[in-house]
Amino acid sequence: MTEIKCSEFGVTKDGKIIHLYELKSQHIGVGLINIGASISYLKVPDKNGKLDDIVTGFPDAQGFIDCDRYFGCVVGRVANRVAGGKFILSGKQWVLPINNGPNCNHGGPHGFDKKIWECTSSKNGSVTFSVTSPHEDMGFPGELVSTVTYSLNGDTLEVQYNASSDQPTPVNLTNHANFNLGGHANWENLSDHKLSVSADHYLPTDEFCLVTGELAAVKGTDFDLHEPVLLTQDLLSNLPGGGYDHNFCLTREKTRHRAAVLTHQTNGRVLTVDTDQPGIQIYTGNFLGGIHGKHGVVYNKHTAICLETQNWPNAINNPKFPDSVCKPEEPYKHTAWFTFSTTDGPLSI
């Protein structure tokens, strides 16, 4: 049985109330706030039953409002980068704001992560947030109505994304939670984490982290993560761009398929990610640095990892990539499952 409670978390400068919704199952506690439909905390026990918060965040609403590193939020309309902030759809060129090198990233500077979402329901162990993005919001066509539902089912956090539009528009939603399975009591770099990813190919990127359009085999490279790989500082520092910030093209066998498994070698926490999407962006906190967060912890480079289930980046400009267009007759749907366990077996407290 999942418990849910709601409290006030803060107020924006224009008087909008930020609410904190807390979900609690037998072993896991999740905090959700309506700015960016964000995960504000995620408390999970280790193999010894010690509970700790394993995601980046801030102790108050203002921290999330001011943050430009996408901590725990839903990003969109289009996650990741759109080349040159431009695309052609329905016979017209659409121009988006540039906020990441020469490209548009995560929907623009005022994307879904900065919006105050409505909470439309909280029952049956779930909380649903909704937001309406008007036509030409951040340059995108069509009015888009999006919902994100977080459900805590035992030891699994399920995230369901849905969106509908009155005209064709690109959509690629994901959650940008930054994980460190060491927890805030032992928040260090990722060198005690092992990662496996169910992908035979990945998408190389240029100097601005934009996909080049090439589909590359992982075999024989540092991108072959079929077997768990230790995320050492030597590995991450020697990767192009100083760490992983790449889309892995998932091996899809069924509607719900394995994307990644992250394991902390010392405390035994295990995070398994499943999805129905064709890709997962692995990002190892390459651009973190000196950010003061919760519990007195400073978030620095390579101290957190994002596991972002998604469509392939810049798909709107790559016709060989999976289709990213949400149409009035074809609403957008996407589900991700984050399941927690330990190297010793199921969670316990």
Q: What mean pLDDT is reported for the chain?
A: 97
Confidence of residue 349 (pLDDT cuts 50, 70, 90): confident
Confidence of residue 253 (pLDDT cuts 50, 70, 90): low
Q: Which of 27, 106, 176, 302 is catalytic?
A: 176
Quick: pLDDT tens for 169-178: 999 999 999 9
Q: Residue 121 above 90 pLDDT?
A: no
Annotated binding residues for beta-D-galactose: 80-81, 245
CB atoms within 10 A of CB 203: 24
Q: Residue 21 above 80 pLDDT?
A: yes
Annotated binding residues: 80-81, 245
161 backbone dihedrals φ, ψ, rounded to 5°: -110, 135
Report yes or no: 95 and 85 within 8 Å, Cβ to Cβ. Answer: yes
> Of 55, 74, 57, 255, nearest to 148 (Cα)?
74
Quick: pLDDT tens for 97-114: 999 999 999 999 999 999
Residue 299: per-residue pLDDT: 98
DSSP-derived letter for residue 290 is: S
Q: Does 302 qualify as catalytic in the annotation?
A: no
Q: Does 207 qualify as catalytic in the annotation?
A: no
Report yes or no: 347 and 45 within 8 Å, Cβ to Cβ. Answer: yes
Quick: pLDDT tens for 274-324: 999 999 999 999 999 999 999 999 999 999 999 999 999 999 999 999 999
61 backbone dihedrals φ, ψ, rounded to 5°: -65, -35
**Domain limits of the chain?**
3-342
pTM over 0.85? The answer is yes
Q: DSSP assignment of 1-43, as one string?
A: --EEEEEEEEE-TTSPEEEEEEEE-SS-EEEEETBTTEEEEEE
Residue 192: per-residue pLDDT: 98
CA distance 300 to 247: 22
Q: Which of 246, 302, 308, 334 is catalytic?
A: 308
124 vs 325, which has greater pLDDT?
325
Distance of CA 244 to the CA centre of its chain: 14
DSSP-derived letter for residue 238 is: H
Q: Domain 3-342 carries which CATH code?
A: 2.70.98.10
CA distance 164 to 162: 7
